Chain A
Amino acid sequence: MNASPPVQPSTDAQSANASIEKNLQTLGYTGAALLGALVVTLVAVQFALSNQLDNLQSQGVESALVVGQLNKATSSLHGRQTEMFASTSADELAAIPSRAPIEAELRAAVEALGAVHSEEVEAVRAEVDAFLQNDAALYASVEERHRLHALAVGRRGEVEAKLRALIEAAGGLAGVARLENVLLLRRLKASRGGARVADQVVYGPGRAQQEAGAATVEGILQLIGAVGKLGLTSDVDSLNSVAANVLPQNESATRGSLDALVSAFEGSPEQARAEDIRTDWAAVFTAIGAADNPNSLYAIQRGVLEQHAMSEQLRGQASDRANALQAQLHAVDARIDTMIAASQRTSDTVVWLSYGATGLLMIVGLWSAVASRKRIVHSLEALQTSNTQLAQMGRQLTEANEDLEAKVEARTAQLAAREAALRLVMDSTGDGLVRLDLEGRLVSPPTAAATRWLGEIAPGSSFPRHLMPDDAAADMMLLGIEMFQDGFMPFEVVAGQMPTRVRRGDRVLGLSWRPIEETGELDGLLLVLSDETTLVAAEEAQRKASELQQAVGQLLRNPSGFRLFLEEVEDLLAELLPSTSRTLVLRHLHTIKGNCLVMGFPSVARVAHHLEDVLAETETSIDAKGAVELRTAWDDARASIEDYLGSGGDLDIDRDDVESLLAMISRETPYEQLMVAVRKWDLTPARVVLGRLKEQTLALSRRLDKEVEVVVQPGQVRLEPLVLPFFGTLVHVIRNAIDHGIEAGDERQQAGKNRVGTIRLAVRRAPDELVIEVGDDGGGIDWEAVRGKAERMGLPHRTHADLVDALFADQLSTRDEVSELSGRGVGLSAVRGMVHDLDGSLTVDSTPGMGTSFTFRLPSEPAPQARPNRAEPGEEAFAEGVS
């Protein structure tokens, strides 16, 4: 931008300003005067317009309405005249509505017109009077016409009847004469002397010719009458009557006469004449009334009458239409009136609005003229001031141009400083940022955090080898980087396959990959390293906390049962850890795994499962490391829950116990027996033990995805400490019942059973023994399959007892996959082992389709040696099994 030369204020400008000011003032005044004149004109025009509208409403609209009414009434009258004219009888005429209402309407309209246009009304009134007079005359004329017509019809009928009677009478008289003649002839014929003459008279041709001629003439005369009748008929009924009655009779009579005529003249010179007459007559008759001749007189007359009737009807319709049209026009008229009234109102409003608008316009105009004058003066002053300022700015700009180069240099230095600052920011985020090329080589020095965690790394060296703990892992990462480079797979997919964490000493580093695409393609990788050590620790703590929560849940639901569980696991561990028997170790591991899992110690279950895996692979016993691992896991688990366990010194007594004691006291039971009863309170109630089993059963069923309901029948039994471990092993029987006994819901429904399966757990006391029952309502045991399996496994299988033994032999389920819960098949043999240890017995009762019930009987006072020596039964039985 170049600076313009500064404007010098001059004294000439002052005087020029003054003259501009003066001119503008003059202009303003002239404008105001013109505006005023405009406004005055507008007001005058509006006033005239509104006057005109008033006039239009008061006179024009009014008279238009009146003229409309006149029109309507006149048309109605005219329509009525058409109807009158079209009427065919006096009755029809009389049926036409009276003229009076229309006349009244007409006269009212004339009076209304008189109120507006007094000069013209006289002429209109005279015209209307003439019209009405005319109408009355028309009515009288039509009435007279009908009267005369009716009279004529009646007279014609009378005359016709009289004429016919005359003909008939004359004919009758002729007939009398003829009969007399015939009688004479008959006498003549009968007489002897005159026979010959008589024959001449009777049979000679002269008589026949004469008769035939007379008959023919009579027939044709009648036909003339019929034709006249045909022409006179005024309705189709009469025409039909003539056509159906008169014409056919005449035809047959005349035809007969003509035939007679022709035959009478047969052979005479006049024969041809007679035949001509017959032919001509036939032609004439056809032209008159032959039914099949469309051009016959009859047909034409019929057409005339039909057309007449139709045109009457059409005329009536036309009249109706005209009336309807008239009514329609009147309605339109009325609507137009309404519109005029509405537009009148609108015009009024417009006029008033324009008054207001004009006034407003005037005020605004005057105000703006004054205001603009002021502004012009003001802006002239401002012009002067800005001239001065412009000159000043020109100078300043020249100076600024000189500084520009120095500023560019300073800016470059500033940018360099900002880059350094950015790096500092990056260093201070806490994350390690590492930029690699697509070979995995370090491109630029990593950020401060990365250097702190990984030490100095020279740019250009392979970063994965530096980062990862061993070569294999580094190779994997390099392979990944190669896949980034290939670009065959989406970046996110490859990044997802990369390791996410790496442990460096005590520190766990999180790894996250970002693409660098400076040229639009992948041309580098950004590896973000973050310190996740504390995060991992927190996750571990979280897991432990949730485990603890689960365990505490179990504890709270069934404290006694939970304590029993703890004791059992302690016992099992005590036996397991020093043992060298692989079978015992496997069995106990399995029990520990199952119980820990359902009681809320998955960490212990995981360790147990891991040890099972190791044992299955190595076929040796558990090693020292495994033992420590299991012990530690258990101790940790136990320690975590210890705080919640309490002292363990409480007695588990319920209301029934107290009530039965009270009952004993009231029966005055001897003190010794009371002591025995109370002492028993120290024992664990079966209710508690079965309650825990129920919890385990429900947990198992959820895992195995079966719907099961558990029925517990603990009775009032309390259990000796010696038998408690046995209940721990029952979980295997229950697991079998759920997994293999209870069918899937759909299958159960098809079999007509409740969808939900039932497991029954019962304990009762029999004399000298404790009876424990585990029953299900599942499909029962397929003994044949058991037999087949036993045979294949080389076990005895002849008797039922053999099969039960086979069932409880260490077995493996048919599953291929081994889970934490079941499938290793060591369960049932553990049960049998325990029953054996306790000197008990077991029976199996199974009904196909109905279910299976296991009954265990343990002696009430077990032999003192029962507990210790847990000999391993069926060492050989680690093979596939059935259940």
Chain B
Amino acid sequence: MERWSRRDILRGAAALGVSCSLPRWSHAASAENGVRVGMTTALTGPARALGIGMKTGIESFFATVNAAGGIHGRTLELVALDDGYEPGRAGPNMRKLCDDGVMAVLGNAGTPTAAVTAPIANEKRVPLVGAFTGAGLLRKTPPDRYVVNYRASYAQETAEMVRGVVDELGVHPRHIGFFTQNDAYGDSGYNGGIAALEALGFTEGAKLPHGRYPRNTVFVEDGLSRLMDPREDVRAVIMVGAYRPCGRFIQLARANDFHALCMNVSFVGSGALANVLGEDRDGVVVTQVVPHPQGDLPVCEEFRRVLPPERQDFVALEGFLVAKAFCAGLAIAGPGAGTETWIDAMESGAELDLGLGRAVSLTKDRHQLSDTIWPTVLRNGRFEALDDWKLLGRPA
């Protein structure tokens, strides 16, 4: 839909009029003929690589499903709105999608936005599926009926980093520092790391050096100065932020002869981070909640068949997996399924095979499709799977 003809515009206007005056009708029609799902994410702004990547993954999977005749004869359509990673825009977007009668909202990016969209999902009874965030506010116990997650939590990611650094590499916890975004996302990862340290018996976590930066800026100097403070001896940095500030942080640290091991959570967007860092920044670790796209799990092979090589990144694979999980639920729910029947099907305990090597099943008390962390490391400008932390060498 690159160029709009006059007729398209007229038709769109007519459709808008109809959907305004007859919302119920349009809802019914979408249930009859196809399935519309929504998405509000960062399609512009510093985090746009995440939003676009998720959108690509989801649309690619939908395209293969539609090409094969849809689910129970129903084709899938994604309506994506841009919120620029701002909670103030995500809320209205979410309400608009719900009122337009989408069956679910898939793959939103971001934690501060989720703080707004999750309550709306519960209020409007439209499921929020596979949001690109590992924040705890989507992982309540028991889970919200209208929130289903794909990815492991940030806490699990930072816990894996702590485990790798302390257990595998033998670094003492007091040599660990944090660099986080000054919002709910950053807090989520930071708290996960502190909790993991406490679990190892280290109770002074709160006193560890902690640098922060404002969301949607690259003002990283203050944070870096906290970690490089001569009073501290930081050898490994747990980073919870976006790819641009994190990339700048790493470049600035290296330029100033600060060689601590830098570890990022998946949200950073590894492809984008690699692009920012260029080729000579080997050894940067990014934990992932999806397997390496070039790996040999079934879903990786399927993913590589569908997407062109230049788009085969972790984010797109996550979108792909989220779309796959949604369609699996739709298939179980049967012909003509609506929102509630879809959730009932997901919660039924039926096995969902996402191609991750083992099937997963959800219940009323479990809305988490994956708990696995796959660490990767940057080598020669590309992220490779990190099967053994020891390969990194012990940081000085």
Give A contacts to B, CB under 8 Å: 157, 164, 168-169, 171-172, 174-176, 178-179, 181-183, 185-186, 188-189, 198, 202-203, 235-238, 240-241, 244-245, 248-249, 252-253, 256, 259
What CA separation (Å) do A172 and B221 show in the bound complex? 7
Known: A172-B219, A241-B88, A241-B91. A179 touches B184 (CB 8 A): no
Q: Which residues of A contact B87 (CB under 8 A)?
A: 237, 241, 245
Known: A175-B221, A245-B115. A253 touches B230 (CB 8 A): no
User: Which one of B206, B220, B222 has the greatest number of beta carbons of chain A within 10 Å?
Assistant: B222
What CA separation (Å) do A164 and B183 show in the bound complex? 14
- The answer to whether A171 touches B183 (Cβ under 8 A) is no
Q: Which residues of A contact B115 (CB under 8 A)?
A: 240-241, 244-245
Closest 6 CB pairs of A and B: A175-B222, A172-B219, A244-B115, A175-B221, A237-B91, A179-B221
Q: What residue of chain A has the Cβ atom nearest to residue B191's Cβ? A: A252
Q: Which residues of B contact A249 (CB under 8 A)?
A: 182-184, 186-187
- The answer to whether A171 touches B88 (Cβ under 8 A) is no
The B213-240 residues at the A interface (CB cut-off 8 A) are 214, 217, 219-225, 228-231
B119: Cβ under 8 A from any A Cβ: yes
Could you list some 28 contacts between A and B, CB below 8 A?
Answer: A157-B88, A168-B214, A171-B219, A172-B214, A172-B219, A172-B221, A175-B221, A175-B223, A175-B224, A175-B225, A178-B221, A179-B221, A179-B222, A179-B224, A181-B225, A182-B228, A185-B230, A186-B230, A235-B91, A236-B119, A237-B91, A237-B116, A240-B119, A241-B116, A245-B112, A248-B184, A249-B186, A253-B212
- The answer to whether B91 touches A182 (Cβ under 8 A) is no
The B115-150 residues at the A interface (CB cut-off 8 A) are 115-116, 119-120, 137
What CA separation (Å) do A169 and B218 show in the bound complex? 10
Q: What residue of chain B has the Cβ atom nearest to residue A174's Cβ? A: B222
Partner of B91, one of A169, A188, A238, A259: A238
- The answer to whether A186 touches B137 (Cβ under 8 A) is no
Q: Which residues of A contact B5 (CB under 8 A)?
A: none
What CA separation (Å) do A252 and B182 show in the bound complex? 10
Q: What residue of chain A has the Cβ atom nearest to residue B212's Cβ? A: A253
What CA separation (Å) do A879 and B319 show in the bound complex? 114
Give chain B's interface secondary structure class.
helix
Q: Which residues of A contact B91 (CB under 8 A)?
A: 235, 237-238, 241
B210: Cβ under 8 A from any A Cβ: yes
Q: Which residues of A contact B120 (CB under 8 A)?
A: 237
Q: Which residues of B contact A237 (CB under 8 A)?
A: 87, 91-92, 116, 119-120
Q: Which residues of A contact B88 (CB under 8 A)?
A: 157, 238, 241
* Nearest CB of B to A285, in Å: 16
Chain B 261-301, CB-CB to A under 8 Å as 1, else 0, gives: 00000000000000000000000000000000000000000
* Nearest CB of A to B195, in Å: 14
What CA separation (Å) do A828 and B14 show in the bound complex? 113
What CA separation (Å) do A181 and B187 show in the bound complex? 27
Q: Which residues of B contact A240 (CB under 8 A)?
A: 115-116, 119
Q: Which residues of B contact A241 (CB under 8 A)?
A: 87-88, 91, 112, 115-116
What CA separation (Å) do A424 and B331 show in the bound complex? 117
- The answer to whether A172 touches B184 (Cβ under 8 A) is no
What CA separation (Å) do A179 and B252 show in the bound complex? 10
Q: Which residues of A contact B220 (CB under 8 A)?
A: 175
Give B contacts to A, CB under 8 Å: 87-88, 91-92, 112, 115-116, 119-120, 137, 182-184, 186-187, 206, 210, 212, 214, 217, 219-225, 228-231, 252, 256
- The answer to whether A176 touches B221 (Cβ under 8 A) is yes
- The answer to whether B219 touches A189 (Cβ under 8 A) is no
What CA separation (Å) do A236 and B217 show in the bound complex? 27
Q: What residue of chain B has the Cβ atom nearest to residue A263's Cβ? A: B207
- The answer to whether B228 touches A186 (Cβ under 8 A) is yes
What CA separation (Å) do A249 and B217 show in the bound complex? 16
- The answer to whether B217 touches A178 (Cβ under 8 A) is no
What CA separation (Å) do A157 and B115 show in the bound complex? 19
What CA separation (Å) do A189 and B212 show in the bound complex? 24
Q: Which residues of A contact B92 (CB under 8 A)?
A: 237
* Nearest CB of A to B142, in Å: 19
Known: A179-B221, A183-B256, A248-B184. A189 touches B230 (CB 8 A): yes
What CA separation (Å) do A236 and B206 show in the bound complex? 33
Q: What residue of chain B has the Cβ atom nearest to residue A242's Cβ? A: B87
* Nearest CB of A to B116, in Å: 5
Known: A189-B230, A248-B184, A253-B212. A172 touches B222 (CB 8 A): yes
Known pairs A164-B214, A171-B222; list 17 more (Cβ under 8 Å): A168-B219, A171-B214, A171-B219, A172-B222, A174-B222, A178-B222, A179-B225, A183-B256, A186-B230, A188-B230, A202-B229, A240-B115, A240-B119, A241-B87, A245-B184, A248-B187, A256-B210
* Nearest CB of A to B115, in Å: 4
Q: Which residues of A contact B224 (CB under 8 A)?
A: 175, 179
What CA separation (Å) do A174 and B219 show in the bound complex? 10
Known: A168-B214, A245-B112, A245-B115. A179 touches B228 (CB 8 A): yes
Q: What residue of chain A has the Cβ atom nearest to residue B117's Cβ? A: A237
Q: Which residues of A contact B222 (CB under 8 A)?
A: 171-172, 174-175, 178-179
- The answer to whether A182 touches B116 (Cβ under 8 A) is no
- The answer to whether A168 touches B228 (Cβ under 8 A) is no
Partner of B183, one of A188, A198, A245: A245
What CA separation (Å) do A425 and B187 show in the bound complex? 136
Q: Which residues of A contact B223 (CB under 8 A)?
A: 175
What CA separation (Å) do A248 and B229 show in the bound complex? 26
What CA separation (Å) do A252 and B189 show in the bound complex? 14
What CA separation (Å) do A179 and B256 show in the bound complex? 10
What CA separation (Å) do A179 and B187 show in the bound complex? 23
- The answer to whether A182 touches B183 (Cβ under 8 A) is no
Q: What residue of chain A has the Cβ atom nearest to residue B181's Cβ? A: A249
- The answer to whether A252 touches B187 (Cβ under 8 A) is yes
Q: Which residues of A contact B217 (CB under 8 A)?
A: 168, 172
What CA separation (Å) do A157 and B87 show in the bound complex? 13
Q: Which residues of B contact A198 (CB under 8 A)?
A: 230
Q: Which residues of B contact A203 (CB under 8 A)?
A: 231
What CA separation (Å) do A249 and B185 show in the bound complex? 10
* Nearest CB of B to A189, in Å: 4
What CA separation (Å) do A168 and B220 show in the bound complex? 11
* Nearest CB of B to A825, in Å: 88
* Nearest CB of A to B252, in Å: 8
Q: Which residues of B contact A252 (CB under 8 A)?
A: 187
* Nearest CB of B to A220, in Å: 16
* Nearest CB of A to B145, in Å: 19
Partner of B230, one of A171, A182, A248: A182
Q: Which residues of B contact A168 (CB under 8 A)?
A: 214, 217, 219
What CA separation (Å) do A179 and B91 show in the bound complex? 37
What CA separation (Å) do A178 and B212 show in the bound complex? 13
* Nearest CB of B to A127, in Å: 37
User: Which one of A175, A176, A189 has the greatest number of beta carbons of chain B within 10 Å?
Assistant: A175
Q: Which residues of B contact A172 (CB under 8 A)?
A: 214, 217, 219, 221-222
What CA separation (Å) do A240 and B116 show in the bound complex? 6
What CA separation (Å) do A866 and B256 show in the bound complex? 159
* Nearest CB of A to B187, in Å: 6
* Nearest CB of B to A257, in Å: 11
- The answer to whether A175 touches B229 (Cβ under 8 A) is no
Q: Which residues of A contact B116 (CB under 8 A)?
A: 237, 240-241, 244
Q: What residue of chain A has the Cβ atom nearest to residue B113's Cβ? A: A241
What CA separation (Å) do A174 and B223 show in the bound complex? 11
* Nearest CB of B to A535, in Å: 95
Q: What residue of chain B has the Cβ atom nearest to residue A250's Cβ? A: B182
Q: Which residues of A contact B228 (CB under 8 A)?
A: 179, 182-183, 186
- The answer to whether B182 touches A253 (Cβ under 8 A) is yes
What CA separation (Å) do A253 and B120 show in the bound complex? 28
Q: Which residues of B contact A185 (CB under 8 A)?
A: 229-230
* Nearest CB of B to A299, in Å: 16
* Nearest CB of B to A197, in Å: 13
What CA separation (Å) do A248 and B191 show in the bound complex? 12
Known: A175-B222, A179-B222. A202 touches B230 (CB 8 A): yes
What CA separation (Å) do A164 and B182 show in the bound complex? 13
